[in-house]
Amino acid sequence: MSKIGVLLMNIGTPSGSDVASVQKYLSEFLTDKDVINAPAFIREFVFRLWIVPRRAPASALKYQAVWTPEGSPLMVYSKRFCLALQKALGEGFVVKIGMRYGTPSIRDSLEEMKAQGISKILLVPLYPQFAQATTGSSVGKAEQVLKEMAFEGSVQVMPEFYDQSDFIKSWQEILSPTLGTVDHWLFSFHGLPIRQIKKVPGCTQEKCCDRMLASPSGANGLKCYKAQCLNTAKRLAQALDLNSNEWTVSFQSRLGPVKWIEPYTDKTLIELAQRGVKRLAVCAPAFVVDGLETLEELNIEGRKTFLSHGGEEFKYIECLNDHPSWVQHFAALLQRGVA
């Protein structure tokens, strides 16, 4: 019986927290045309030769603040999830990690699957909401590698799962114990430059994302990242039985001088504290495993921002990681997808 290969794709992480390792990772990440939408000469010369070398030392310090004895949190949790998912799926599946940047790479894992004689591969982008810089780039890379490998088997791509009940239920189980212990909830999603959002056909202005909430993927399969994020937040709020004044959505991790999706998380934390919110719960439903953007940007820097502006209690709630509920729900989601 032929096994099904499951490639879990995520953004990636440096192999170490030293400056050289971080610089190597950033060079690969920030010269991807799907991440930095600029001409090739700008990505290669401005980013690789000027921005990355200057950014790497500060980024290395941030990685060092969250690095574990086992390595990068994102890689540690990804490996744990991979092993748990393999156990849940059983012998009919072969589950591997493929990072878009860094190792183990998408190419390495796909070549291993081919060598094992796997003839059916399920590409699984671990990004709940679709964005060209994440899902699009990862799937594109995998398809390129498979073509270069002359892979003759079948290939299936798992769609985004931002509104799937398995995803929402898993988050609900993790978030529910915090109910009644805070004044307000902040759902912080990774941001994107506005110009990337406006590339969605039919998008005329930023606020049109709000009108797409009823159908975030659009009648013709169009994909609006912001609308999908808002949809996730709305479903989580409903699952937690929150009133409209008890939760807020914001967007984090902006880079450079261009305008990104608003409201910004750092500014929202200040505004919430200044308007009287004392006890705040924060989670990041754009991430399935914790990494730099959650553990450092939210749980360290975000915490400092909120507490220094009048907040009294900041509860960061970890991502799904390898939580048993998430493993079982995601296994069920995969099995339905390949049935």
- In whole angstroms, what separates CA 214 from the centre of its chain? 22
CB neighbour list of residue 228: distance below 8 Å, 6 or more residues apart:
128, 129, 130, 160, 162, 163, 216, 217
Per-residue pLDDT at 44: 60
Per-residue pLDDT at 213: 56
Per-residue pLDDT at 114: 96
Per-residue pLDDT at 36: 62
Domains by residue range for the chain, with CATH: 4-161+324-338 (3.40.50.1400), 165-316 (3.40.50.1400)
Asked whether the whole model's pTM tops 0.85, one would answer yes
| Local mean pLDDT, 10-residue blocks, the chain (339 residues) | 92 96 88 67 54 87 98 98 98 97 96 96 98 94 97 96 97 98 98 83 58 53 85 98 98 87 97 98 98 98 98 98 98 86
* Total residue count of the chain as it appears in this document: 339
Q: Which two tokens stand for residue 130?
A: 């679709």
